[in-house]
Amino acid sequence: MEYQLADVFTDVPLVGGNQLAVFTQRRPVPAEVMQAIALELNLSESVFLCPPEHGGDVRTRLFSTVREVDFAGHPLLGTAAVLAREREEDEALLHIETNVGTVPISIQRHSESRFTGWMDQPIPRVEEIPDEEAVRLLAVLGLEHSVLPVTRYDAGIPHLYVMAESPEAVRGVVPDFPALGAAAGDSRINVFAPTGPETAVTRMFSPYDRVPEDPACGSAAGPLAAHLVRHGRLASGTRISLDQGKAVNRPSTLHAEAVVHDGRIQSVRVGGGICLIGRGELHVPDSMVSGPLAGTSTVGVVRE
């Protein structure tokens, strides 16, 4: 099984961004095998390309180290760069199928290995968090309060957002992952603070994954922009740049913008740099990829 490696949300390979493997075989593989491969590689996510089912350019299956996810940001941007290089296109508009629908991605090639991509994300569902749940989460994070209401946004992966008093408070969080998992359930936890009118620092914790702090989370960047717009901290349609990943020695830059009208989120876009850094082969026995489990579509959530 051939794959390509990418660093996403960076313009500099090997030292920043979120790491990704894209398997390009476009043939049915049992979900159990996909999950085993994702755990073997131990990256935030691994992508498996499949033939399209709804008129898109390709269908994707996205796996973290412990579960299949319906939607994710950096895997889709990395996939778009892989497809653009396969087609030798300098600019392309791609339609990539996911478990939550087809995601349009515009991609621009700057060199053989460096790209910039922008994706239109699904509109997230918004859920205000009860006070007692918010208080419990803040206590685990070691924060006295959240400047904005603690809110859950879900566009395929549920994310909780906590706005700290300062960038220093964000950087000072020392995560207790078992306690965070108990306080947040299946949601990822995002702690952020503005660093300027159109910039912010953010960290994303995923207690149940084997990569428990994400270097750069595209699925969280879009709802974060929407959260700020909804609460009047950012003008609708304004692009915000997010600094993430320094806490895990993978500095990353994500760009996001959201349009909100009458309190309703109308559109969410996320973009950034992509570096394709290598390729390889994984040797998997034929019996594992062609047996009766081929095409299995679900994997249960694993908590360890």
Q: Residue 231 in 3-state DSSP?
A: coil
Task: Tell whether 161 is covered by a domain.
Answer: yes
- Note the pLDDT tens digit of each residue in 137-152: 999 999 999 999 999 9
- The predicted model scores a pTM of 0.93
CA distance to 60, 81, 113, 255, per residue, from 88 (Å): 20, 10, 11, 25
pLDDT at 286: 84
Q: How many domains does the chain have?
A: 2
Residue 295: pLDDT band with limits 50, 70, 90: very low
Task: Compute the average pLDDT of residues 150-156.
Answer: 96
- Provide DSSP, 141-172: HT-S--SS--EEEESSSEEEEEE-SSHHHHHT
Pair (29, 110) in one structural domain: yes
Under DSSP, the state recorded for 17 is: S
Task: Tell whether 54 is covered by a domain.
Answer: yes
Pair (227, 101) in one structural domain: no
Q: Active-site residue 40, yes or no?
A: no
Task: Tell whether 35 is covered by a domain.
Answer: yes
pLDDT at 169: 98
Pair (265, 130) in one structural domain: yes
Task: Tell whether 297 is covered by a domain.
Answer: no
pLDDT at 282: 94
CATH of the domain at 20: 3.10.310.10
Task: Tell whether 152 is covered by a domain.
Answer: yes
Residue 302: pLDDT band with limits 50, 70, 90: very low
Domain extent at residue 151:
125-270
Task: Compute the average pLDDT of residues 162-176.
Answer: 97
With CA atoms as reference, report the closest residue to 23 among 67, 72, 74, 82. Answer: 82
pLDDT at 293: 42
pLDDT above 90: percentage of residues in the chain: 89
Give Cα 7 to chain centroid, integer Å.
13
Torsion 111-77-22-181 (CA) sign:
positive
Task: Compute the average pLDDT of residues 142-171.
Answer: 97
CA distance to 106, 121, 293, per residue, from 270 (Å): 11, 7, 35
Are 255 and 20 in contact, with CB atoms under 8 Å apart?
A: no
CA distance to 14, 64, 224, per residue, from 151 (Å): 34, 23, 10
Amino acid in the structure at residue 97: E
Pair (241, 264) in one structural domain: yes
Tell me the residue length of the chain: 304
* Structure-token pair, residue 201: 């620092």
- Note the pLDDT tens digit of each residue in 58-108: 999 999 999 999 999 999 999 999 999 999 989 999 999 999 999 999 999
Pair (148, 227) in one structural domain: yes
Residue 28: pLDDT band with limits 50, 70, 90: confident
Residue 165: pLDDT band with limits 50, 70, 90: very high
pLDDT at 288: 84
Task: Tell whether 178 is covered by a domain.
Answer: yes
Which of the residues 2, 40, 45, 168 is marked catalytic? 45
* Cross-strand partners of 191: 162, 203
